[in-house]
């Protein structure tokens, strides 16, 4: 099984309320990394601080959630217990500035998902998937937010970074 399908399977089991939108978001992040190029480290830090200050720290949360392609989601609720927002922002900005995904691979992964729906523990119908896919295609495959269902159920707060960068947070360099 291809890596992206293993990642999707793991996430669908962990987050059973994932919608087609959340699946496409995961595929997007897996291949294309952080949703946008960082205009400036300062702007990125300001957005992170706004989110950082709006959430409660959770020492029991999982810190690193692999999403494949050497990338992971670093959970801000756990990171808040361990690191400064500046340290998290640094690895996020570095990831955004050097990661270059391929749109062809992103398209391939979307096809894999479509053809593998029966083998994955999805909670949505094939028709719901096709409806979202058509809408997403019509919009030109932009970066996505999590669905309202996902946000309500799981309250996600993270940044996509290279796994090696996330692991390096504990190093005294």
Identify whether 173 is part of a domain. Answer: no
Residue 61, domain extent: 3-168
Which regions of the chain are under pLDDT 50?
172-173
Q: What is the pLDDT of residue 35?
A: 64
State pTM to two decimals: 0.93
Measured distance CA(10)–CA(105) in Å, rounded = 20
Q: Report the number of distinct structural domains present in the chain.
A: 1
Look at phi and psi of residue 148 and say left if phi exceeds 0, alpha if psi is from -120 to 50, else beta. Answer: alpha
User: Does a structural domain hold residue 147?
Assistant: yes
Q: How do residues 23-43 score in pLDDT, each as one tens digit? A: 999 999 999 998 666 778 999
Task: Indicate whether 148 belongs to any domain.
Answer: yes
């Amino acid at each position: 099984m291809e890596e992206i399908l293993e990642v999707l399977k793991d996430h669908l089991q962990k987050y059973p309320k994932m919608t087609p939108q959340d699946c496409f978001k995961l595929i997007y992040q897996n291949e294309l990394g952080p949703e946008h190029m960082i205009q400036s480290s300062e702007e990125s830090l300001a957005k992170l601080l706004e989110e950082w200050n709006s959430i409660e720290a959770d020492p029991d949360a999982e810190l690193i959630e692999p999403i494949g392609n050497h990338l992971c989601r670093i959970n801000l609720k756990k990171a808040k217990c361990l690191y400064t927002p500046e340290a998290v922002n640094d690895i996020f900005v570095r990831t955004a500035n050097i990661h270059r995904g391929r749109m062809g691979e992103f398209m391939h992964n979307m096809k894999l998902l479509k053809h593998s729906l029966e083998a994955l523990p999805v909670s949505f119908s094939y028709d719901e998937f096709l409806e979202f896919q058509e809408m997403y295609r019509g919009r030109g495959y932009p970066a996505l937010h999590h669905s309202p269902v996902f946000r309500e159920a799981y309250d996600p707060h993270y940044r996509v970074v290279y796994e090696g960068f996330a692991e390096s947070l504990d190093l005294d360099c």
